Amino acid sequence: MKKTLLCLISLGLIFTGCYTRIQTYDFDIHETVTKEQVKTAILAGCEDRGWIAKEKDNSTISAKLLKKNTYEVYIDIVYDETNYKIEYVNSVNLLYKGKFIHKAYNKWVTYLQKSINAELFKIS
């Protein structure tokens, strides 16, 4: 009984260490830029971080990241001249469960956001 309980607790600790809550990536743009400049910055930031991006409509860019031929992440980036928001769409092999996902997702999206912000800074 004790061994079973100890085993379950150990497994729980191992698996919860891999999971994290999906972060909200909503960024207000304080520089004066056009919507086209924001789109250009997003596309350049995606390219810089290895995301494959394409325009979905006039205010959304869809992007995907393939890592180690094992992991896939799909996001939408909704934008205008004052704000952009990165939204989770789907993933493969990242242990997605409702509001939780493997911690690598937030790391990759944070790096993407930093690259987009750097591109916006260059433009302004």
Classify residue 9: in a domain, yes or no: no
Q: Check which CATH number belongs to the domain holding 75 and give it.
A: 3.30.530.50
- Is the confidence at residue 99, as pLDDT, over 80? yes
d(CA 75, CA 61): 8
When divided into structural domains, the chain yields a total of 1
Average pLDDT over residues 87-104: 95
Please measure the distance between the N-terminal and C-terminal CA atoms of the chain and give it in whole angstroms.
Answer: 64
Query: How much is the pLDDT for 19?
Result: 80
What pTM was estimated for this model as a whole?
0.85
Classify residue 4: in a domain, yes or no: no
Classify residue 105: in a domain, yes or no: yes
pLDDT per position as a tens digit, 67-90 = 999 999 999 999 999 999 999 999
Rounded to the nearest integer, the mean pLDDT of the chain is 89
